Amino acid sequence: MKRTIVKMPGDGIGKVVLEETIRVLDAAGFEADYVEGDIGWEFWRKEGNPLPERTIELIKKHKIGLFGAITSKPKEEAAKELAPELQGKGYIYSSPIVGLRQIFDLDISIRPCHTYEGNPLNFIRRGTNGEIEEPKVDVVIFRQNTEGLYSGVEWSNPPEEVHKAFMSHPKFAKKFGIVPKEELAISSRIFTKKATERILRAAFEHAKEYGYKSVTVCEKPNVIRETSGMMYQMAKEIKAKDYPEIELWNTNIDAQMMWLTKNPENYGVIVAGNLFGDIVSDGFAGLVGGLGFAASANIGDDVAIFEPTHGSAPKYAEFDPPIVNPIAMIEAACMMLDHIGENKKAEKIRKAIADVIKEGKVRTYDLLKMKGAQDVIKKGAATTTQMADAIIQKLK
Binding site for ligand NAI (CB under 6 A): 69-72, 97, 291-292, 307, 310-315, 324-325, 328, 366, 372
Residue 255: CB atoms within 10 Å: 11
Smallest gap from Cβ 324 to Mg ion, in A, equals: 18
- C-beta of 135 vs 292, nearer to ligand NAI: 292
- For residue 343, the 8-state DSSP code is H
Residue 347: CB atoms within 10 Å: 14
Which of 130, 140, 121, 383 has the alpha carbon at shortest distance from 272? 140
Residue 27: CB atoms within 10 Å: 19
Size of the site for Mg ion (CB under 5 A): 1
Are 279 and 251 in contact, with CB atoms under 8 Å apart?
no
CA pseudo-torsion sign 141, 142, 144, 145: positive
Residue 107: CB atoms within 10 Å: 24
- C-beta of 101 vs 239, nearer to Mg ion: 101
**Alpha-carbon span 89 to 79, nearest angstrom:** 10
- C-beta of 107 vs 278, nearer to Mg ion: 278
Are 271 and 199 in contact, with CB atoms under 8 Å apart?
yes
Burial of 131 (0-12, 13-18, 19+ CB in 10 A): exposed
Does 307 bind Mg ion (CB under 5 A)? Our answer is no
CB-based contacts of 178: which residues, under 8 Å, 6+ apart? none
Smallest gap from Cβ 17 to Mg ion, in A, equals: 17
The mark string for 324-363 relative to Mg ion (x by CB under 5 A, - otherwise) is: ----------------------------------------
Amino acid letter, 379: K
291 binds, among ligand NAI, Mg ion, none (CB under 5 to 8 A by kind): ligand NAI
Are 248 and 236 in contact, with CB atoms under 8 Å apart?
yes
- C-beta of 325 vs 383, nearer to ligand NAI: 325
71 binds, among ligand NAI, Mg ion, none (CB under 5 to 8 A by kind): ligand NAI
Amino acid letter, 217: V
Smallest gap from Cβ 185 to ligand NAI, in A, equals: 22
296 binds, among Mg ion, ligand NAI, none (CB under 5 to 8 A by kind): none
Smallest gap from Cβ 309 to Mg ion, in A, equals: 6
- C-beta of 147 vs 366, nearer to ligand NAI: 366
- C-beta of 48 vs 292, nearer to Mg ion: 292
61 binds, among Mg ion, ligand NAI, none (CB under 5 to 8 A by kind): none
Cα distances (Å, whole numbers) of residue 80 to 41, 48, 84, 347:
12, 11, 9, 46
357 binds, among Mg ion, ligand NAI, none (CB under 5 to 8 A by kind): none
Smallest gap from Cβ 270 to Mg ion, in A, equals: 15
Does 278 bind Mg ion (CB under 5 A)? Our answer is yes
Smallest gap from Cβ 145 to Mg ion, in A, equals: 11
Residue nearest to Mg ion (CB): 278
**Alpha-carbon span 252 to 214, nearest angstrom:** 16
- C-beta of 58 vs 313, nearer to ligand NAI: 313
Name the one range near Mg ion by CB under 5 A: 20-28, 275-283, 337-345, 383-391: 275-283
Cα distances (Å, whole numbers) of residue 285 to 73, 220, 365:
24, 21, 18
Name the one range near Mg ion by CB under 5 A: 38-46, 180-188, 271-279, 379-387: 271-279
Smallest gap from Cβ 349 to ligand NAI, in A, equals: 17
Burial of 149 (0-12, 13-18, 19+ CB in 10 A): middle
- C-beta of 328 vs 346, nearer to ligand NAI: 328
- C-beta of 224 vs 324, nearer to ligand NAI: 324
Residue nearest to ligand NAI (CB): 311
- For residue 371, the 8-state DSSP code is P
Q: Given the rule CB under 5 A, which residues bind Mg ion?
A: 278
